[in-house]
Amino acid sequence: MGLKVHFHRISPEVLSIALEETSAAELSYVAEQLESRFSSIQDVVFLNGVITVFSTEINLILNELASFFDSMDETYESSFRTWYIPIWYNGLDLLFIAEKKGMSIDRIKEIHQKEEYTAIGYGFLPGFFYASGVPESIDLPRRSSPRARVPAQSVAFAAAQMAIYPFETSGGWNILGTTPYQFFDPNKNPPVIVKAGDRLRFYEIDESHFKALQLIWETSSDREKLLSHVC
């Protein structure tokens, strides 16, 4: 019983906890439990097997945290949903990816759509989720120098991870295309729909379809429904 963890104190108020053999869904579940059980924890960030806790009272709760992980039950029910994300393959790096991989653009698109991806956690910017599952056959490292401007809602990948840029920002990932859906809305609670552990599937749309879906998304009162099937 209990979870095997390693504590790593990074700063007086930041403690990283590495979990052995864990999944994104488990990490998300443990992070939720931590936030609800410890009122002195101000923030929790989880990604790639590590949960990081921000608290001004870490010294006071260290022992309690250790017992929390000791008593943590591994048998929790994990559930996930599958979301269908439209993509217009107009990415700035599409040709670069195809050339680098010695494949046609059509083949890159095909491989990208065939795969199912798993959301593994949030990071970088508000609403930016990481997803695993990028097939090796199309995978590339981060660009050697980041682009100053990555368009909002770009679908991009690097180093085996896939993501959607919620805003225009600088970024070093390889851009495949754009989705008409905006995955972060600060006026909604919660401001995001996709949860760690959820599955993602991409399907191709063209420019006119993109414009239509963009409008539908903006005015939709049920965005989960739009994401639940191919539109």
Binding residues for other proteins, per CB under 8 A?
A: 8-12, 14, 16, 45, 47-48, 50, 52, 54, 122-127, 130, 141-142, 144-145, 159, 161, 166-167, 184, 186, 191
Cα 142 vs. chain centroid, distance in angstroms? 16
- Smallest distance, other proteins to C-beta of residue 218, A: 15
- Smallest distance, other proteins to C-beta of residue 186, A: 5
Buried b (16+ CB within 10 A) or exposed e, 23-43: ebbbbbbbbeebeeebeebee
Residues in contact with 187: Cβ distance below 8 Å, sequence separation at least 6, in sequence order: none
- Smallest distance, other proteins to C-beta of residue 33, A: 18
2 vs 12, beta carbon nearer other proteins: 12
18 vs 103, beta carbon nearer other proteins: 18
65 vs 205, beta carbon nearer other proteins: 65
Task: Classify burial at 55, counting beta carbons within 10 Å of its beta carbon; exposed 0-12, middle 13-18, buried 19 or more.
Answer: buried
14 vs 105, beta carbon nearer other proteins: 14
Cα 106 vs. chain centroid, distance in angstroms? 25
- Smallest distance, other proteins to C-beta of residue 35, A: 14
The overall longest dimension of the chain from CA atoms, in Å, is 58
- Smallest distance, other proteins to C-beta of residue 77, A: 27
196 vs 205, beta carbon nearer other proteins: 196
